[in-house]
Amino acid sequence: MQKFISCILVLVLVLFIPTLVLAQHKYSLSGTVKDKQNGELLIGVVIRLEENPRLGTLANEYGFYSLSLPEGNQTIVVSYIGYEVQKIKLNITNNLKLDIFLEPSSVAIDEVVISDKKSDENLSTPQMGTEVLNIKSIEKLPVLFGEKDILKTIQLLPGIKSSSEGNSGFSVRGGAVDQNLILLDEAPVYNASHLFGFFSTFNSDALKDATIIKGNAPAQYGGRLSSVLDIKMKDGNNQNFVTNGGIGLISSRLSVEGPIKKDKSSFIISGRRTYADLFLGLTEQFRENELFFYDLNIKANAQINKNNRIYLSGYFGRDILGLSDNFNTNWGNASGTLRWSSIMSKKLFSNTALTYSNYNYDINFKNEVINVTVRSKIQDWNLKKDFSWYISDNHFIRFGTNTIHHTISPTTINGNLSSSFARKSRTSLEKAIYINDDHKVTNKLTLSYGLRLSAFTILGGDTYNIYENGVLKDSVQLAKGDWGKTYFNLEPRFSSNYRINQVSSFKAAYSRNTQNLHLLSNSTSGNPTDQWIGSSYTVKPEISDQISLGYSRNFDDNNYEINTEVYYKNMQNQIDYRNGADISFNAGKDIEADLLFGRGRAYGLEFIAKKKSGKLTGWVSYTLSKTERKIDGINNNQWYNSRLDRTHDLSVVVTYLLSPKWTLSGLFVYNTGNAVTYPTGKYEINGQTIFHYDSRNADRMPAYHRLDLSATYEAKKGKKLQGSWTFGVYNAYGRQNAYFIEFQDNPDREGTTRTLQTSLFRWIPSITYNFKF
Amino acid sequence: MKKLIIVSAVSLLTLTACEKEIDLNLENKSGQLVIEGNISDKEEPHIVRVTRSVAFTQANQYPAVSNALVIISDNLGMIDTLKYTSDGNYNTEKLKAGVSGRTYTLKVLLDGKTYTAQSELPEKVPLTGLKLIPMTFLGNTNYDVLPEYTDPPTLGNNYAFIVRANSKKGIVFEIESDNLGNGVANQRDLDIPEDDGDSVKKGDIVYVEMRSIDKNIHTYYTAVNQLTSNGPGGGISPANPPTNISGGALGYFSAHTSQILSIVVE
């Protein structure tokens, strides 16, 4: 297998050799870009030649850049959102290494700049369906309970929908919640939510930025169908010690960062804990109950020498819920990343990461007779080797490998009651090799094309049953150490950008993605007990093919930006389960016997208009979309709406700088209700009313809309202690949005039924104090 | 219990959830045939009820079907044509007590269509007693009830429990199987339904009926119970429970054992 992969890599490289020959009579300029004040590496900084603005590059996600320049005197322009533009005059006579330090701009900090760089980057990159969120920029947006949350902010972008009210689970372009690859410093996060989804596991204080790619990810990403959300933690200030903190209604946060050795190494420790339970503890009734969660992010980095740096980061988060002694549960993620970045030459940058991820839960039920613990776990060891090769100013190549070892321990119950079917942990190996070329074909045409070969191997240690339509056909016994079936998938990725003129461009992309880990869930919001399973002899890898077309236009010297995309996505081997199947801990011998398989399709139009600078900034985003499934055994094998099919989805986000001290912010969302199944009639069984259903998800929840407002007051800058107050109100006009709708016997009028709507959040005020010293 | 915990946890957090009755203008379909057939191992006339569904907005009065031909037979050659009594009920005449191990077949002929179902009456697992288990939650003490029985060593036993308090209409219908705790004394307690909005208190009587049911009925009832659980975000996509009746009717046909015990709350 390894040999086969190497062969392909060599073959692909050979195809690129001719381009190397073209790269003569030029010298390379390379280095890193950092924040001058805190030494943080900056991602996505634009470096351009003033004399020829088409000649330019972006600093990669590790802050490294490399650019081929012609001989002679020239000026490079370095720009990045929130920083002063820097012009550097150079006389290029040989290869040059240049580390650039950018000064944060005093004005831009007060702007909510949503994505991108204040430039025409959106017109020149072939990358489609991508948004970069700078964490600093989302600080002032109103949020539920004042808890700023990256997962909720991305839901305001086109094509990204929340799974339910106030929920951090999200669906991208009609995909399922488990089809998003969420990476925290390269380590996958399996359950990105706290408290049944109302909060995400990401403490903004510890984060640098986040990039979401909606299905057209370049070849270095893989493993999920719908999207990649790549979140990077801050590296830590390597100049000064800084303490950041915040006190809110729900939680408090504190983070400390500083140099270990100035300029050479730094650290950051960031923690967050909710404290509703501390107040509850004051009342007699609640004293014996616990309900809280915490997050801890730790990161340190050290420079080994001029060209090599290592990073160590970790995340630990846990939810704890206890009701007297009867019911105790905790769940959470732990992840760790050891990363080594190396500037191997002027043109070659490498990044090696070893990551560990673990998600598990533990539930204990106890009373006079029963004392049991229910457990499940998913654990990954992941080794990534990635190279960035700046061959010439026309070609930028990314290639590398990735190997993940998965261990999935299915839900088991132990104690004085135990499962009658001992279920073993299953292990698997997921490998990938990829290569991607960003190719500037002409001044107007830019292509990004790549290939990813993924291989998923079932490892021994358990017996695998093979089912066809739920009927056992055969079984395969794999001893420990045996290698079972391997699924190979070749995933082509292609995107292109054609610059029509100075202010507009046209884009087109196609990509295939595959997924070998699948989440079985019986709710849309995501319960901590949802079960991951790997591809097996019965469960095939999910495959999606997406094509998209886009048009972008900028106005007023790139101050306004409009991006429109249309997409069509076809999904194979989608998974659901049989009606009446028990997938929890009292499941039978093999969950796979109850699974059903089918197809999915999704298509839509996305539109976003942004105003990127000035006193008033913000965006309007609109999505018109459809997403459907066709699963054998559901809805008479006919196409039906996926639950998160929402025809219209609108978000308006506005921030207004009222004075140097006051910033006002507001957001409005409107969307068509989720597709649901309402009863078409009723009948009686065992003396109880039972509802009758016809087509699945043919009905609609009521439309959802909401307005949130906030105001932030910042005291004068320049003092040692900088403080700010944020006041907010969520759902300002108190709309009763349906969280769920129940049909039931009417207790007030016997012999009739009624429809009951439950709404959650109305007029939720919040107040948060943030400080920094 | 689990649902209660989740809902309480969320409301603890938010303290803001609010409910209101709404009108959704639902599609109104009525007239679907519903067959509910039960045979137990008790000496009694067994009832097959044939009714029709009504629209959501109508009152819970289900039109009785009185002109069906309802036949129950078993695998030893017994054939019983049931007699219509009232309210859609057809009673067995010949068949007195169902016998464990026999397979019963139900045939309903109506308007030129035939609906059939089969169910095997499982072995009896003796219900030996009931025990009340106090549960303290948010300062209040409630009770759960533990049905005492020992599951047989062979796998494949399925149970339904019906819990009533003071013979009130509200019931708790719980489905278990020996997927958990095969061959051991039962450890799983059951919720007790509220009696006029209150938890049971001293002097109340709790009744528990235990049925041994076959696999198809276990799946059917599991699906029925999933329909009524909501949870944060709104539970599963509801669908009609998978019936064991072929021919296009709603409902089920179950041959099961039945034992009822009661206990007084002290």
The CA distance from B211 to the nearest CA of chain A, in Å, is 13
| Helix or strand holding residue A508 (H, E) | strand A504-515
Q: Report DSSP state, residue A9.
A: H
**Does pLDDT of A4 surpass 70?**
no
- Per-residue pLDDT, A9: 46
For tokens 């988060």, name the residue.
Answer: A317
- Per-residue pLDDT, A16: 43
Model confidence at A387, pLDDT cuts 50, 70, 90, reads very high
**Does pLDDT of A21 surpass 50?**
no
The CA distance from A166 to the nearest CA of chain B, in Å, is 10
**Does pLDDT of B12 surpass 70?**
no
**CB-closest option in A525, A681, A694 to B55:** A681
In the predicted model, what is the mean pLDDT of residues A179-202? Answer: 88
Contact between B222 and A582 under an 8 Å Cβ cutoff? The reply is yes
pTM, two decimal places: 0.87
**Does pLDDT of B234 surpass 60?**
no
- Per-residue pLDDT, A458: 96
**Does pLDDT of A111 surpass 60?**
no
Query: Which chain A residue has its CA at the smallest distance from B235's CA?
Result: A523
pLDDT, one tens digit per residue, over B172-199 is 888 999 988 899 999 888 988 876 667 7
% residues pLDDT > 70 (chain A): 91
- Per-residue pLDDT, A436: 95
Model confidence at A338, pLDDT cuts 50, 70, 90, reads very high
Helix%, strand%, coil% for chain B, nearest 5: 10, 45, 45
- Per-residue pLDDT, A63: 84
- What angle (nearest 5°) sits at the alpha carbon of residue A34, between those of residues A713 and A97? 165
- Per-residue pLDDT, A243: 93
| A563 bridge partner residues | A552, A608
- Per-residue pLDDT, A327: 81
Mean pLDDT of chain B: 87
| Helix or strand holding residue A493 (H, E) | strand A483-501
pLDDT, one tens digit per residue, over A395-434 is 999 999 999 999 999 888 888 888 888 788 999 999 999 9
- Per-residue pLDDT, B38: 95
**CB-closest option in A324, A372, A587 to B137:** A324
Q: Residue A468 CB: number of other CB atoms within 10 A? A: 9
Model confidence at A286, pLDDT cuts 50, 70, 90, reads low
Q: Which position has the higher pLDDT, A96 or B115?
A: B115
**CB-closest option in B13, B17, B189 to A758:** B17
47-66 in B: which are within 8 Å (CB) of A? 51-56, 59-62
Separation CA B101–CA A151 (nearest Å): 56
Residue A345 token pair: 């030459």
- Per-residue pLDDT, A10: 45
**Does pLDDT of A524 surpass 70?**
no
In the predicted model, what is the mean pLDDT of residues A370-374? Answer: 87
% residues pLDDT > 90 (chain B): 59
**Does pLDDT of B146 surpass 80?**
yes
- Per-residue pLDDT, A208: 87
Residue A656 token pair: 């207004």
**Does pLDDT of B239 surpass 60?**
yes
Instruction: Name the 3-class secondary structure at B35.
Output: strand
In the predicted model, what is the mean pLDDT of residues A569-588? Answer: 81
Contact state of A745 with B60 under an 8 Å Cβ cutoff: yes
Model confidence at A119, pLDDT cuts 50, 70, 90, reads low
- Per-residue pLDDT, A67: 83
- What angle (nearest 5°) sits at the alpha carbon of residue A543, between those of residues A537 and A544? 165
**Does pLDDT of B31 surpass 70?**
yes
Nearest to A669 by CA among A194, A196, A172, A162: A162
Instruction: Report chain A's C-alpha Rg in angstroms.
Output: 27
**Does pLDDT of A106 surpass 70?**
no
Phi, psi of A6 (to 5 degrees): -60, -40
Which CATH fold topology does A2-107 show? Immunoglobulin-like (2.60.40)
Least confident of A16-25, A254-263, A591-600, B168-177: A16-25
The fourth-level CATH superfamily of domain A121-230 is TonB-dependent receptor, plug domain (2.170.130.10)
**CB-closest option in A321, A413, A764 to B9:** A321
For tokens 């946890």, name the residue.
Answer: B9
Nearest to A428 by CA among A533, A352, A338: A533
Residue A295 token pair: 């997050």
For tokens 């839901």, name the residue.
Answer: A155
What are the residue boundaries of the structural domains of chain A, listed by start? Answer: 2-107, 121-230, 231-772
- Per-residue pLDDT, A585: 65
Best mutation site among A414, A586, A635, A737 for testing chain B: the one with the most B CBs within 10 Å?
A586
pLDDT, one tens digit per residue, over A193-229 is 887 778 888 988 899 888 899 988 999 999 999 999 9
Q: Which position has the higher pLDDT, A203 or A580?
A: A203
Model confidence at A1, pLDDT cuts 50, 70, 90, reads very low
**Does pLDDT of A750 surpass 90?**
no
Query: Which chain B residue has its CA at the smallest distance from A281's CA?
Result: B138
pLDDT, one tens digit per residue, over A610-667 is 998 888 989 999 999 999 999 998 898 999 999 889 999 999 999 998 988 899 999 9
Best mutation site among A321, A590, A629, A683 for testing chain B: the one with the most B CBs within 10 Å?
A683
Mean pLDDT of chain A: 86
Nearest to A171 by CA among A158, A184, A188: A158
**Does pLDDT of B238 surpass 90?**
no
Q: Which position has the higher pLDDT, A83 or A690?
A: A690
Nearest to A260 by CA among A296, A298, A233: A298
Best mutation site among B53, B65, B215, B229 for testing chain A: the one with the most A CBs within 10 Å?
B53
Instruction: Give the architecture-level CATH label for domain B123-240+256-264.
Output: Sandwich (2.60)
- Per-residue pLDDT, B104: 96
- Per-residue pLDDT, A587: 67
Q: Which position has the higher pLDDT, A540 or A126?
A: A540
Residues of B in contact with A742 (CB under 8 A): 230
In the predicted model, what is the mean pLDDT of residues A442-459? Answer: 94
Nearest to A452 by CA among A511, A409, A509: A511
The CA distance from B22 to the nearest CA of chain A, in Å, is 6
Q: B33-120 and B123-240+256-264: same fold?
A: yes
In the predicted model, what is the mean pLDDT of residues B12-35? Answer: 79
Separation CA A483–CA A464 (nearest Å): 12
Model confidence at B139, pLDDT cuts 50, 70, 90, reads low
Model confidence at A449, pLDDT cuts 50, 70, 90, reads very high
Top-confidence range, A26-40, B99-113, B123-137: B99-113
DSSP conformation letters of A424-450? --EEEEEEEEEEEEEEE-SSSEEEEEE
pLDDT, one tens digit per residue, over A65-88 is 888 888 888 888 888 877 888 888
DSSP conformation letters of A175-230? --GGGEEEEETTEE-S--EEGGGTEES--GGGEEEEEEE-S---TT--S-SSEEEE
**Does pLDDT of B114 surpass 50?**
yes
**Does pLDDT of B150 surpass 70?**
yes
- Per-residue pLDDT, B3: 42
Separation CA A644–CA B243 (nearest Å): 28
**Does pLDDT of A6 surpass 50?**
no
Question: A231-772 maps to which CATH number?
Answer: 2.40.170.20
Q: Which position has the higher pLDDT, A367 or A445?
A: A445
- What angle (nearest 5°) sits at the alpha carbon of residue A388, between those of residues A382 and A508? 95
**Does pLDDT of B233 surpass 50?**
no
In the predicted model, what is the mean pLDDT of residues A268-274? Answer: 93
What are the residue boundaries of the structural domains of chain B, listed by start? Answer: 33-120, 123-240+256-264
Instruction: Say what the alpha-carbon torsion angle A480, A481, A486, A490 is, to the nearest 10 degrees.
Output: 130
**Does pLDDT of A113 surpass 50?**
no
| A271 bridge partner residues | A254, A296
pLDDT, one tens digit per residue, over B46-75 is 999 999 999 988 999 999 999 999 999 999
Least confident of A137-151, A530-544, B234-248: A137-151
Model confidence at A115, pLDDT cuts 50, 70, 90, reads very low
In the predicted model, what is the mean pLDDT of residues B209-237? Answer: 79
Q: CB pairs below 8 Å between A and B: how many?
A: 253
Domain B33-120 has CATH 2.60.40: yes
| A254 bridge partner residues | A245, A271
Instruction: Tell me the pairing of strands A100-102 and A26-35.
Output: parallel
**Does pLDDT of B126 surpass 70?**
yes
Sign of the alpha-carbon torsion through B86, B92, B98, B104: negative
- Per-residue pLDDT, A15: 42
**Does pLDDT of A319 surpass 80?**
yes
Q: A2-107 and A231-772: same fold?
A: no
Residue B78 touches chain A, beta carbons under 8 Å: no
